[in-house]
Amino acid sequence: MNFTREDLIRSRESAWFLIPEREKLLERLSFLVTDPPRHRERSLSLLGPANSGKSRLITQFMKLHPPVFGEELDQKPILLLRMSSLRNTSQLVDRLLALLTPVHINGNEDARTEHLLNLLEVVGTKAIVLDEFHDVLSVGSQTRHHMLTKIKDLNNAGLRIIPVGTDRMVDALSINPELSTRFTTCTLEALSFTDSLGVAGAFFTHLGLEDWKATYQRSAEMVYVRTSGIIGNQLDVLEEVVLTVTALDGRVTGKRYQDALDLLRF
């Protein structure tokens, strides 16, 4: 069985691995969409190092609550916005508007914000995921303050805001103490060894390579230790081994895992 790099990436990105703690977290995220309104909307923030599975979790969350396409209007329960390229509150408003309508909205920022809030209500948006939230720290201090105030205003309007980022996100949220108290921080920890075995098994099953599981068992501890239990790092190694072995029509061996770890510098 051969895999192109494109096929393997698509397969990997579409897979969801049943890790108990992350299943519980997914359930908590879903409550943010299904719970009735509160006087003050509380939410979750997702914290984790690079490659820890934050994006995969958000992707699965959005799959559980997909857009509902209508003849005249689509319902969009969740919006995803990456903060990396935002430099001011005007851009924040415009990017959110662009997720809702292809029509360019004119007017000053206050008018566009009001239009945004009206649209969010019409399309049934319950939650806004702000990925790479730590990048708020990359703008000037005054702009940073204005952006956090705008995000607080969205929360005040009844939207569940879900910041996602690395540990620097805590510093970003702390700039606005009133906003920071509205989130329960959920940390995506490194996998336990048992969970890492489950991920590898599910990965092979998803690809139709169940017979690889026994060989992997002999290399599992080495892969786990050297990838520090980070799910994305582990999947990088598994992907590299599958590509190498299937391209050469060879055999999967412990040395293949050793070579992949060395190549990826784990």
Give tens-digit pLDDT for 161-212.
Answer: 999 999 999 999 999 988 889 999 999 988 899 999 999 998 998 888 999 9
- Rg of the chain over all Cα atoms, to the nearest angstrom: 21
Whether 9 and 103 map to the same domain: the answer is no
Would the pLDDT of 225 be above 90? yes
Would the pLDDT of 233 be above 90? yes
What is the count of structural domains for the chain?
Answer: 2
Closest CA to 16 of 166, 157, 202, 182: 202
Out of 187, 211, 232, a domain closes at 187
Q: In one letter, which amino acid is 149?
A: T
Whether 113 and 245 map to the same domain: the answer is no
Whether 255 and 203 map to the same domain: the answer is yes
Whether 24 and 92 map to the same domain: the answer is yes
Q: What is the b/e burial string over 200-211, where b = at least 16 CB atoms within 10 angstroms of the residue's CB?
A: bbebbeebebee
Whether 169 and 197 map to the same domain: the answer is no
Whether 167 and 47 map to the same domain: the answer is yes
Whether 107 and 127 map to the same domain: the answer is yes
Whether 55 and 176 map to the same domain: the answer is yes
Out of 187, 208, 233, a domain closes at 187
Whether 100 and 228 map to the same domain: the answer is no
Would the pLDDT of 15 be above 80? no
265 pLDDT band, cuts 50/70/90, is very high
Q: How many helices (H) and strands (E) does the chain have?
A: 13, 5
Residues of the domain holding 144: 20-187
Whether 167 and 246 map to the same domain: the answer is no
Contact 57, 26 (CB under 8 A): yes
Would the pLDDT of 39 be above 80? no
Whether 124 and 202 map to the same domain: the answer is no
Whether 128 and 148 map to the same domain: the answer is yes
